[in-house]
Amino acid sequence: MFRSMTAYGRAALLTDEREITVELKSVNSKFLDLSVKTPRALSPLEARIKSAVTAHPISRGRVDVFINYVNSSSSGNTLALDSAYAEGYIAALRELRDKFSLTDDISVMTVAQNRDIFTVREVGEDLDAVWADILPVIDEACREFVAERLREGENLRRDILAKIAHLRTLTDRIEEISKGEIESARDRIKQRLIAVLADNRITVDENRILTECAIWADKIAIDEELVRLRSHFAALEDMAELDIPVGRKFDFQLQESSREINTIGSKCQNADIAKLVVEMKNESEKIREQIQNIE
């Protein structure tokens, strides 16, 4: 089972006192890089938030968690009078009145126009109570996030398995061509050796010629590479069925299969095989690009 590393999840909760929104976004990364952004009042909860997120099957990717929190209750803040400042401010107003013989219109509303006489005191949140509301929202957002990763991962899995099936077909075609190519190449080398030796009036044992031809034919034989290649394909197909993160293992196994393809390409003496090898390399590269998106 594949999980994509790119996904989005969102959940929200609205109560009489609190409005909470949680969003998760992710992009590709070799490891899990978890970033949490919250209002300052919720900063002490960051460790809990990370633990809640990693409790879900999220092991790779650059994951950004955004939490928006609003306390809509009237008890969130309190307004207090700065008595010392107010006394000084009123005394200054009276001095202004007396010094310039102004009309005495000092009143509560006049004084209240100076907002500096009031202070806003934040009442500390009960973080445990806030956490009790936030945790279910985080869990819901994570479930949606993981579900989207699974949906996209399944699409990637089907596409990759189809490409592996195509690679198997190309492998069968190469094997079919190579069987006849070995026999044909052995005969050509034998005839060339006989002709060269005859031109130089050299007599060589027929068995020695056959041995040399066999040695050369063995050097261009790709039977072992084809066996190992099919083994790698089988391992890739098995990994695609596992219910654990396999992105890095899959990438490593794909590298092993690419080595076999390159070896086949370096050994081949046939133009048709060379074309098939190029096609296999292109298909493998497409799979590699897809694998970079898998957790």
Domain ranges of the chain: 7-73+128-148, 75-122, 150-291
**pLDDT per residue of the chain (295 residues) written in tens, 0 to 9:** 789 999 999 999 988 778 999 999 999 998 999 999 998 888 899 999 999 999 999 999 999 999 998 887 645 556 778 888 888 888 888 888 888 888 877 888 888 888 888 776 655 678 898 899 999 999 999 999 999 999 999 999 999 999 999 999 999 999 888 876 666 666 666 666 666 666 666 666 666 655 655 556 566 678 888 999 999 999 999 998 888 888 888 999 999 999 999 988 888 778 888 999 999 999 999 999 999 888 8
Q: Residue 1 is encoded by which pair of tokens? A: 């089972």
CA-CA distance, 158 to 280, in Å (whole number)?
18
Q: Which fold has domain 7-73+128-148?
A: Ribosomal Protein S5; domain 2 (3.30.230)
Give the three-state DSSP class for 205: coil
Q: Are 8 and 145 in contact (CB under 8 A)?
A: yes
pLDDT at 230: 94
Q: Are 69 and 18 in contact (CB under 8 A)?
A: yes
Q: Are 59 and 245 in contact (CB under 8 A)?
A: yes
Cβ partners under 8 Å of residue 133, min gap 6: 13, 15, 18, 20
Give me the sheet containing 32-37, strands edge to edge.
Answer: 7-14, 18-27, 61-71, 32-37
Among 146, 153, 138, 148, smallest CA distance to 57 is for 146
Q: Are 19 and 73 in contact (CB under 8 A)?
A: no
Instruction: Read off the pTM.
Output: 0.68
Residue-wise pLDDT for 231-257, tens only, equals 999 999 999 888 888 888 899 999 999
pLDDT at 196: 63
Sign of CA dihedral 187, 190, 192, 194: negative
Measure Cα distances from 294 to 59, 114, 191, 236 in Å: 11, 60, 54, 13
Q: Are 42 and 71 in contact (CB under 8 A)?
A: no
- Provide the β-strand partners of residue 14: 19
- Provide the β-strand partners of residue 205: none
pLDDT at 286: 94
Would you tell me how many other CB atoms lie within 10 Å of the CB of residue 96? 11
Give the three-state DSSP class for 33: strand
108-114 long-range contacts (CB < 8 A, ≥24 apart) are 111/86, 114/89
